[in-house]
Structure 1
Amino acid sequence: MGEVAATVEPLAAVKSKSLRSRKRRQRRRRQIAYLAICGLSVAIFGFALATLIRPTTAQDNDAPGSWRKGYVGHGTTHEQLGQPHWPPVEYTAYRPTTNYSKAPPPPTSAMNPIFNFTHFLYDKILYREEPIPEGYIVVKNSDTLSLGPKVEENDWRDLLAHYWLALIWVFILVLLIIIIPFIAVCYCCFCCCRRCRQGCPPCTSKQDAQRRFCCGICLLILIIGLIFGIIIAFVTNKMIDSGFAETSETMKRGSEDTCTYLKDVSDHVYHLMMNNYEEMETHVLDQLTHAHRHIFLDLSDTSESNSLAEMERVLENMPEALELMRQVEKMEKDLRFYGSQLRDGVRGIKRDVNFAVANLCQLQMCQKFLISSNIEHIDSSQCLHFDNLPNTKEFVEGMETIVANKYYAIPQRGLERLKKVSDKVKTQLSFVVPPMMRDLTKGRTIFREQATNVRNIVEGVLSDIHIKTLHSTKSFEDVYDRYGHDRNVVSLIVCLLILLVLFILIFALLCGCFGRRRTGYGDECCSKSTGATCLLLAILLIFCVFSIIALVGLFYFMLGMVTYQGACAPLRDQENNTIFRQLDASIDLNHFLPASESTKEMMQPLKMSSAIKACRANQTIFDMMRQHKIYDINDLTRIKVMTHAQENTDSIKVFDEDLSTVVLLTQEERDELNAARDSKLAKYHSSLYLPSLCTQFTPMNLNALSEQLYKLSNDLEYPAYGWAKVSFWNEGLNTKAFYRNFVPKLTSLVEKMKANLKKIDELISYENNDFTNTIKILTATAINSEQFIQKRGKDYINTLGSNLTQSIDQMIDDYIDMIIKEANESVGHCAPLSYIYYRGVDLICHRIVDPINGFWVGILLCALLFLPILFVAHRLMCLYKKIYPYLATVGAAGVVEGGSDYLYDAYSERDREHVPLANVPKKRRKAYERRREQQDYFEDASPSVSRGNRSGGDRGGGGGDGAPGSSSMRYNDMAPTHWDHEPPRYHNPPAAPPSSEYERPPPYYYPGASEQD
C-alpha cells in the first residue's frame, strides 16, 4: 500500500504541472492575440492618419508659408506685421439727422391715481368679456370711432342692463337726486333750521365745547375731501379742454414726425446701398487698378529682390559719404595735433609738480596732494592716445575708386530688368481687371434698384400706418361737436357752485373756531353767530345745487364708461375685442411694389395689429416686413456681383509668361561688385573710431586741479616754502590755460566726427554691417531673388492673382452681410413709429377719456360729501347758536369781603381770558380801588327799580346793611325776581358824573335761558 501511495503521488504532481503549463500556454496565446489586435488597430489608425495627413502635407508644401523661409502667408513683410494682404474696406457710418418734434408735457401725474382708479373700476369691477352693446359706439370708414345713435337718444337701458353693477350705482344716484329736494323742502318748511335746543349753556359749556370740537374736526375732514374733489374737477376739466384743443396740433406733429421717420429710413437705406457700395466700389477699383504694382511689390518683397534697391541706395550715396569722410579725415588730423599738444602739456605739469613736491615742499600736505590728486596718471587717458584710430585716408581712396568706377549703375541695370517683370504682370492683368470693373458697375445698378424697392415698400407701409393712425385720432370728434360748446359752461358753473359752498363752509368753520361766543346782545361780525348763519346758508345752498351737481356727474359717468369701453378697452384686449377687430385695418402693399405678378400673388395684407405688436417689441421695419413676407433683406445674399465667382477660381490664370530667363545680375556685374567689396573701403565701420572718440581727456577735471594747486600754494608759508609756493601757483595757471585752449576744441572735434561717422553708416551700411558684409549680403540676396523669380515667380504671381479675386469676392460678401446686419439691427426701429401711434391713442384715451372719467370722480365725490356735510353743519350750527351771557361763579360758603374768591369778570369774556379778580395785576387792582373810593357803587340791578329810586331811596338813612353805601349790601342777592331774556342793565350812581364809557358791572348771578327759546 505504501508503494501504491508513493506511485500515485508523483502522478498527481505530474498532472498538476501539465495543467499549469496548459494554462500558461493559453494565457500566452491570449496575450499574443491581444497584441496582434492592438498592432492591427495601430496599423489601421496609422494608415488612416497617413491618408489624412498626405493631402495636408501636399497643401503645406504649396502653402503660402513656404514661399519664404521663416515667414507665414505669402511671405510679405506687411503680413508679418499683422496687416492684411489686401486691406479691407472702411465704411462710413450713417449719422442720422432726425429731429422729432417735442411732445407737449404729459398730463399732470397727480391725476394718475384717479385715472388708475377709473381703470380699475372699468377693468375689474365693471369688466365683461362681451363687448359694449351695439348702438353706443359705431365705426366710421373702418378706422374712426364715434358715438352711436343710442347715445344721441339718451337710451342707456341696454348699457345698464349689460353692466348691472353700474345700474345699481346709477339707481342710487338717481334716488338721491330725487329725494334730496324733498328733504330740503321739509327742512325749510318745518323750520328745522331754527329749531335748536338751548338747554343750560352754563351747565353744559364743557360738553358743548367738546361737541363743537368733534363736529369741527368732522367738518374739516369733509372740507378737505371737498377740496380734493374740486381740485380733481378743475384739473380734469382743464385737461378735457386741452385734449380737444390739441387734436389738430397733435395730428400735425404726427405728420411731421412720420415724414421725418420716413426720410430717416430712406436716407439710411440709401446710405447703406448706395454710399457704402460706392465706397466699396472705389476701394475695389483702386485695388484692381494698382493690382499689378501690388503684386510686383509683393513679389519683390517675398523674393527679396528689394536687395537691388538697397544696393542702389548704398552705391548712390557713396559721393555724399565721400564728402563726409573727407571732413572726418581733416578732423582726424586736427584731433591728433591738438591732442598731442594737450598730452605734452599735462605731462609737463606732472613733471613740475613731482619736482616741487620732491625738492621744494617735503611737507606731508604736499605728499598727500600728490597722492590724492592722481596727477601721476594725468596723461594716461585713452582719449588722449589716437594711435588706434583707423587710417581714414584709405577709406577716402576706396570711396573715390567706387565713385570713379560708377558701381551704382550695376543695381540700376538690375532694377530695370526687374521692371520688365512688372510690365509683364501689368500686361497680363489688363485682360482680367476690366471684366471685374464692369461687374462692379453692374452691381451698383443692382443695389440702386434694391434701395429704390426697399424705400418704396417702407414708405408705403409707414404711410398707410400713419394714415390709419391719423384717422383713428379723429375718433369721438362728435363728442366735442355735440357737447363741447355747452359742456365747458356747465362744467364751469358746477365747479363754481361747489367752490362757493366750499368757501362758505371754510368761513363758517373759521368763525366758529376763532369767533366770540354768542351773548345774545351786541354780537360782533365774525362771532360764532356769524358762523351759524354761514352754515345755514351753506345747508340751503347744498340743498339747491345737489341734484344739479349729481346729475352732471351721472352724465359724465355714463359718457366716460361708453368712451372708455370704446377707446381704451380695445387696447387692453385687442385680439378678442370686436371693436378693435373692426378697426384692425389692412394695408394693401401691392400698389407699392414693382409690377410683378408673382410677387403680387404671394403678398398678404399687413394688419395694423401686427404693426403695433412689432412696434411694441421695438423691432426694426425690416424684421416686421420679413415676418409678414413683405420683403426679406436676407435675400441680398443671393445677389452675385462678380460673374467669375460662378466659375472655378483655381482654373483662372492671371499670369502666363515665362520668367525662367529673367536675369538680375550678370556674371560680370557680380565680379565688379566683388571688386568693390574687396576695395580699401571693405573694413569700414564707425565702430572702428568709437573707442578712441571720447571726451574724458584727463582722469580729473583740469579746472578742479588748478583750484587744488591754488589752494596748496596758499596754504604754504612764504619765507620757508616760497619757491614751492610760486611753483604750485604757476602750475595752477598752466593747468587752467591748457584746459581753456585745448579741451573745448578737442571735444568739438570728437562730437563732429561721431555725427559724420553715424551719417556715413546710414548712407552706405545695410543692417549695421560693415561695407564688405553689406555688399556681400545684398549680392547674395539678389542672386537668390533671381533664382526665385526664375523658378517660382509665375506660380507666386498666379497665387496672388487668385487671392485678389477671392479678396474682392470676400469684400462684396462682407458688404452684403454688413447691409443685412445693419438693416436688421439699426435701420428703422419701430420706436418712433410706436411713439407716433401711441401718441394718437394718447390723444383719444389718455387726454380725453381719462379726464372725462376723472371729472365725474371729482364731481360725484363732492356731491356725496355734501350728504354728511348737511348733518355735521346742522349740528355745528346749533352749537354755534347757543347763547352764553355773563355769568357769576358763586362759592359754596358764600363770598366774604376781602376774601380771595373767584368772581366772574365780565371783561374777561371780552378779552377771551378768565382772570380772577383777586389775582389781577397790581396796577389794575390799585386803579380799581381808587375808583371805588371816589364813587358809590350800587348793585341793585332789578329792572323794577328805576334810576330815581335807586339813586334817592334811603339816602338820608344811616349806613346800615341795607343802605346803598354800606359794605354789606354788595353781598346781597341781586338777582331779579323775573327775567326778560335780556342782560341786566346797569346805571351809574347819582353822585357819579355822567359817562358814556361802559363801566365794570358788579358780580351777579344769571339763572340762564329757559326751555322756551
Structure 2
Amino acid sequence: MGSAEMTSMSCCSTNWVSWSARPLESSSSSWCRWAGGVCALISNSRFSQAVKSTFPNVNNTLDNVHTYLASIPQQVDFVINKSDVPLSYANRSLQDIGPKLGSMITSRIRNSTDGALGSLQSLLQGMETLNNIFANIANRRSDLEELQSSYSQGLVSLRDRLNGTLQKCGLPCSQVSLEGLAFSANFSTIPGVEQQLQALREVSESNIKSDLEEVNTTLGMTPDKVQEQSQEVVAKSQDQLLLIRQEIRNLQGRLPLLDVEQEVGAFVNNATSMLEKYREPIVAWDGLRLILCALLCCTVLLVVLCNVFGLLLGPLGLKEGVLPTQRSSLSDAGGNFFMAGVGFSFIFYWLLMLLVMITFVVGGNIYMLLCESWHNQQLFQLLDTPGKIPNFNLSELLGLKGDTTNFSEIYRQCQHDASLWQTLHLDQSVSLDELLNISQYAGDISTAFEKMNITLSPISLLNQSQKDLLLRASQAAQPPNFTLTLEQLDQNIIQGSLLDLAVELEQLAENVSTDVKKDLEDNARELRDLEKEMQGNFSGPLQNLKENIHSVQSGAAQLEGQTTAALDKANKTQEFLEREMPNIIKNETLAFLDQLLDFFETYISWAKSRVTKDVARCKPIAQSLDDVEVIGCDYIMDSVNAFWFSLGWCTLFLLPSIVLSVRLAKFYRRMDIADVYRNEDFEMPPTFNSYKIPRPSTRH
C-alpha cells in the first residue's frame, strides 16, 4: 500500500471515530441548555406576572385589613347600642312601678291573707247553709203540724161514719176494730230551732262578709297607691338612667381597641399610598427587566439552536472517506454553526454569569432572610427583639404603651381567631371594669329606693265584736235533740193500716145484706183514698225533714271547731300583717330594685364578654399576613429562584458546549489544508489501521 492511500485512510478513520462520539456529548449538552433556557424564559415571564399581580393582590389584602379595621367601631357600636335594651326595660319598669311593684306587694300580702280569708268565707258559707237548713226544718215542722191538725179531724169524722156502718151491720161486723184510725206521731213535739235561726241570722245580717270583701278591695288599690307615692323616686331613677346611658356611650372613645384601629388604619393607608406611588415605576422597570432577561435567555437558546443546526447539518453532509479539504457544503455549514454558537457564547457568557450571580445573591438572600425565616419563625423572633430593626416598634405601631407586645404570640393567637383584646393584652393598659363601672349610678338609684316610703291602708280581717258574734253563733247553732223526732219519722203516721182496714171492710161487704154492703164498700173506698192522699201529702215533708235533720247534725258538729280554727288563723294573720307589713313593703321594694339593677349587671357581663372574646377577632390579620407571605415568597421569590437556577444551569453547560463545539467544528468544516501524518517508512496493515486511535497533528 502506498503512503498516500495510508494517509487518506488514516484521516477518514480518525474523522469517523470523532463524529460518532462527540455529537452525542454535544447533543446532551444542547438539550440540557435548551431545557434550562425554556425554564428561564418561563420563570422570567412568571416573575413579571407576579410583579404585576402583586399590586392588586396586595391592595385586596390591604382592603381586607381596612374592612376588618372598619368593622371594629361597628362591633363596638353594636355592643354599646345593645345597652338600649336594659335601659328601655328599666325605664318601662319605672313607669309601670305601680302595677309591677304593687302586684309584688299584693301577691306577698295575699300569701298571708288568702288562707285566713278563705277560712272565714268558708265559715260564713257554712253558717249560711246551716241557717237555710234550720229554716227548712222550721218550715217542715210547721207544715207537718198543719197537716196533722187537718187530717186528725178527718180521721175522727171517718171513724164516726165507720162506727155507724158497723152498728148497722150488726154481728158480722162486731170484730172490726177502729182503734188504728189515729195518728201515731205528734209533730208538735218536734223541737223548735228558733234559737239557732236567730243566732245564724245575726251573722248573716252583720257586715262581716262586706268587711272581708273590703280586704280584697284594699289590696286591689295597692298598685295605685304605689304609683302615686313613688313618683319622686321614679323621676330620680330616670335621671340616673340618662347618666348611665351617657356613661356607656362614652365607652366608644375610651376603648384602646379604637386607638389600635386608628394606628393600624394609618399604617394601612400609608402602605396603600406607597404602593400606588411606586406602582407605575416598578411595572415600567419590570417591563425593561423582562425584555433584557428574555433577550439573554434567547441568546442561550440561540447558542443551542446553532449547536442543533450544527448537529443536524454536520452529520448529514459528512461522508466517509472524504478528505477534510473536500467536505460538502452541508458539513461545512454545520461546522460554521458550531463556531457561531461558540462566538455567541463568548460574547454573552459574562453577562449571563453576572445576571446569575446578581439574581442568586439577591434572590437567595431575600428568600433565606424573609421566606425561610418566616417558615421557621426566626423572623418573628427578630421582630420580637427590641432594637434589632431600627425605627421599628410594634407597640408604637399599634398605639400601645410599653414594649410587651409580642409579634409571635399575636400571630399565633390570630391564627386561632382570638379577639384583639386578648391578643394585645389590652387589660394590662386599661381596666374594662373601670370603663363599664356604673356602680355610682346604681348606688344613687338604690339610695332613692331606700328612702321611698310606701304607706298602704291598714288591713283588718275581723274586729273583736265580729269574732264574738261568730263564736256565739257557732255555739248557739248546735241543733236540739232530734232523737225522738227521728224515731217518730221512722214509724207509720197512722197507728193502724188504712189499707188493711179497707180490705177487711171489702171482705165483710161480700157476706152482708145489700143495704150494708154498699156502705161498707163506700167506707173501704174512702179509706183507700185517704191513705193515698195522706201518703202524697206527708211523704215529701217527712223525707225532707229527715234529710235536713241529718244535714244539720253533721254540719253543726263541725261548726264550732271550724269557727275556732278560722278565728285562730285570722288572729295570726292579723298579727302577722300588723308586724310584717312594713317589712313586706321594704323587701318587695328591694326585690324590685334588684330586678331593675339586674338588667344592667346582665348587660355589663355580656358587654365584657363580647368586648374581650368576640369583638375584633383577628383571624383576618393572620390571613392577610399569610397572603403577603404567599405573594412575596410563593409567587415572586420562587420565580426569581427558578430563574437564576435555570439560567445558571444553562451557563454551567456553556463551557462543555464551547469545547465540544470547537472540536466538532474541526470535523465538519471544510479545511484549506489537510491534516495528515506522513511516514513512508512505517506502514500498517489495513485491518489494524481501521482501529487506529486518533492523535493530534499539526496543520501544514
TM-score, normalised to structure 2, is 0.51
Matched, 1:465 2:264: no
Task: Give the unaligned 5+ runs of structure 1.
Answer: 1-193, 202-207, 316-406, 522-528, 591-602, 679-771, 882-1005
Alignment partners' CA distance in 1, 2:285 and 2:258: 43
d(CA) in 2 for partners of 1:445, 1:834: 36
Match of 1:635 among 434, 444, 452: 434
Q: Are the structure 2 counterparts of residues 300 and 497 from structure 1 closer, same or farther at C-alpha, using a change threshold of 3 Å?
A: same
CA contact (8 A) 1:428 1:655 kept: yes
Match of 2:90 in 1: 284
Residue type matched to 1:233 in 2? A
**Compared with structure 1, are the counterparts of its residues 507 and 272 closer, same or farther at alpha carbon in structure 2 (3 Å cutoff)?**
farther
- Report the alpha carbon displacement of residue 289 of structure 1 after superposing the two structures with TM: 3.1
Tell me the equivalent position of 1:198: 16
CA 1:452–1:533 in 2, change beyond 3 Å: closer, same or farther?
A: same
In 2, the alpha carbon distance for the partners of 1:225 and 1:261 equals 50
In structure 1, give the amino acid aligned to 2:341.
Answer: L
**C-alpha deviation, 1:428, in angstroms:** 3.9
Q: Please give the secondary structure, in 2, of the residue aligned with 1:582.
A: coil
Q: Aligned letter for 1:825? A: K
Which residue is 2:227 aligned to?
426
* 1:621–1:642 Cα change, 3 Å: same
Superposed displacement of residue 781, structure 1:
13
Q: CA deviation at 1:793?
A: 3.8
Q: Match for residue 352 of structure 2?
A: 549
Tell me, in whole angstroms, the C-alpha distance in 2 between the residues paired with 1:539 and 1:664: 135
Residue 830 in 1 paired to residue 621 in 2? no
* Alignment-derived partner of residue 692 in structure 1: none
Q: CA deviation at 1:268?
A: 0.5
Matches of 1:415 and 1:633 in 2, distance apart?
Answer: 50
Tell me: CA distance 1:415–1:627, structure 2 relative to 1, closer, same or farther (3 Å): closer
Aligned to 2:583: 795
Identity level (%)? 15
Give the structure 1 partner of residue 391 of structure 2: 582
Match of residue 657, structure 1, among 430, 455, 471: 455
**Deviation per residue, 1:39-72 (Å, 9 max, x gap):** xxxxxxxxxxxxxxxxxxxxxxxxxxxxxxxxxx
Q: CA deviation at 1:423?
A: 2.8
Aligned partners of 1:479 and 1:553: how far apart in 2? Answer: 24
Distance in 2, Cα, partners of 1:539 & 1:805: 104
C-alpha displacement of 1:463: 2.0
Q: Are the counterparts in 1 of residues 30 and 308 from structure 2 also a CA contact under 8 Å?
A: yes
| Ranges in structure 2 where 5+ consecutive residues have no aligned partner | 1-11, 123-207, 322-328, 478-558, 670-686, 695-700
Residues 953-984 of structure 1: per-residue CA shift (max 9 Å, x gap): xxxxxxxxxxxxxxxxxxxxxxxxxxxxxxxx
1:615 and 1:640 mapped to 2: Cα distance?
A: 37
Provide the C-alpha distance between the structure 2 equivalents of 1:482 and 1:536, rounded to a whole number of angstroms.
Answer: 39
The counterpart of 2:652, out of the listed 842, 849, 864, is 864
1:269 aligns with one of 59, 76, 101: 76
Are 1:492 and 2:271 counterparts?
Answer: no
1:733-753, Cα deviation, whole Å (9 max, x unpaired): xxxxxxxxxxxxxxxxxxxxx
RMSD of the alignment, in Å? 6.0
CA contact 1:199–1:1009 (8 Å) conserved in 2: no
Greater relative contact order (CA < 8 Å, ≥ 6 in sequence): 2
Q: Which amino acid aligns with 2:290?
A: N
The whole-number CA distance in structure 2 between the counterparts of 1:478 and 1:288 is 66
Displacement of 1:228 in angstroms is: 5.8
Q: Which amino acid aligns with 1:636?
A: L
Which structure has the highest helix share of the two? 2
- 1:326-337 matches, within 5 Å, as none
Q: Which amino acid aligns with 2:360?
A: F
Structure 1 distance, partners of 2:690, 2:619, is: 79
Distance 1:780 1:486, change over 3 A: farther
- Residues 159-238 of structure 1: matches in 2 within 5 Å? 197-198=15-16, 215=24, 226=33, 229-230=36-37, 232-238=39-45
Q: Deviations for 1:190-233, whole angstroms, at most 9, x for unmatched residues? A: xxxx99632599xxxxxx7xx79x958x966x677556644542
Whole-angstrom distance in 2 between the partners of 1:305 and 1:538 = 119
* Native 8 Å contact 2:313 2:334 kept in 1: no
Relative to structure 1, is the Cα distance of residues 785 and 508 closer, same or farther in structure 2, using a 3 angstrom cutoff? Answer: farther
Cα offset, 1:874, TM superposition: 8.7
CA deviation map 1:750-772 (0-9, x unaligned): xxxxxxxxxxxxxxxxxxxxxx9
Partners of 2:356 and 2:647 within 8 A in 1: yes
State yes or no: 1:441 paired with 2:242.
Answer: yes
Q: Name 1:127's counterpart in structure 2.
A: none
Partner-residue secondary structure (3-state), 2:240: helix
Shift of 1:277: 0.7
Aligned to 2:52: 245
Distance 2:426 2:260 in 1: 14
Q: Per the alignment, do residues 297 and 263 of structure 1 end up closer, same or farther by CA in structure 2, a change over 3 Å counting?
A: same
Work out the CA distance in 2 between the residues paired with 1:802 and 1:295: 10
- Report the Cα offset of residue 811 of structure 1: 3.3
Q: Distance in 2 between matches of 1:534 and 1:518?
A: 10
> 1-side partners of 2:284 and 2:343: how far apart?
30
In structure 1, how many angstroms separate the alpha carbons of the residues matched to 2:278 and 2:263?
Answer: 26
How far apart, CA to CA, are the structure 1 residues paired with 2:657 and 2:407? 53
Contact in 1 for aligned 2:339/2:661 (Cα 8 Å): yes
**Following TM superposition, by how much is the alpha carbon of 1:246 offset from its aligned partner in structure 2, in angstroms?**
3.6
Q: 1:535 to 1:430 in 2, by over 3 A?
A: farther
2:253 to 452, 470, 473: 452
Residue identity opposite 1:574 in structure 2: L
How far apart, CA to CA, are the structure 2 residues paired with 1:658 and 1:623?
A: 54
Q: Is the 8 A contact 1:501 1:541 kept in 2?
A: yes
Q: State the AA in 2 paired with 1:463.
A: G
Question: Equivalent residue of 1:861, what SS?
Answer: helix
Q: Structure 1: which amino acid aligns with 2:243?
A: K
Q: 1:295 to 1:260 in 2, by over 3 A?
A: same
How far has the Cα of 1:853 moved from its partner? 3.4
Summarize the alignment of residues 753-768 of structure 1 with structure 2, pairs less than 5 Å apart.
Answer: none
- Worse-matched range after superposition: 634-643 or 474-483: 474-483
Q: Kindly tell me: are residues 535 and 517 of structure 1, through their superposed partners in 2, closer, same or farther at Cα, counting changes over 3 Å?
A: closer
Partner AA of 2:642 in structure 1: G
Which whole-Å CA distance do the structure 2 matches of 1:433 and 1:200 have between them? 114
Against the structure 1 CA distance between its residues 437 and 226, is the aligned structure 2 distance closer, same or farther, given a 3 Å change threshold?
Answer: farther
CA contact (8 A) 1:299 1:796 kept: yes
Counterpart of 1:614 in structure 2 is 410
Q: CA deviation at 1:798?
A: 1.6
What are the equivalent positions in structure 2 for 1:1-80 lying under 5 Å apart?
Answer: none
Q: CA deviation at 1:429?
A: 3.7
CA distance in 2, matches of 1:510, 1:576: 63
| Residue 260 of structure 1: aligned partner | 67
Deviation at 1:780, TM superposition (A): 10
Structure 2 match to 1:851:
639
Residues 589/249 of structure 1: CA separation in 2 closer, same or farther (3 Å cut):
closer
| Partner amino acid, structure 2, of 1:552 | L
Count of residues in Structure 1 that have an aligned counterpart in Structure 2: 472
Task: Confirm or deny: 8 A CA contact 1:469 1:840 kept in the other structure.
Answer: no
Cα offset, 1:256, TM superposition = 3.0
Q: How far, CA to CA, are the matches of 1:257 and 1:200 in structure 2?
A: 66
Shift of 1:574: 3.2
Match of 1:490, SS state, is: helix
- Aligned-partner SS, 1:657: coil
- Report if the CA contact (8 A) 1:254-1:836 is conserved: yes
Tell me the TM-score normalized by structure 1: 0.37
Measured against aligned partners, the alpha-carbon deviations of 1:708-742 in whole angstroms (never above 9, x if no partner) come to: xxxxxxxxxxxxxxxxxxxxxxxxxxxxxxxxxxx
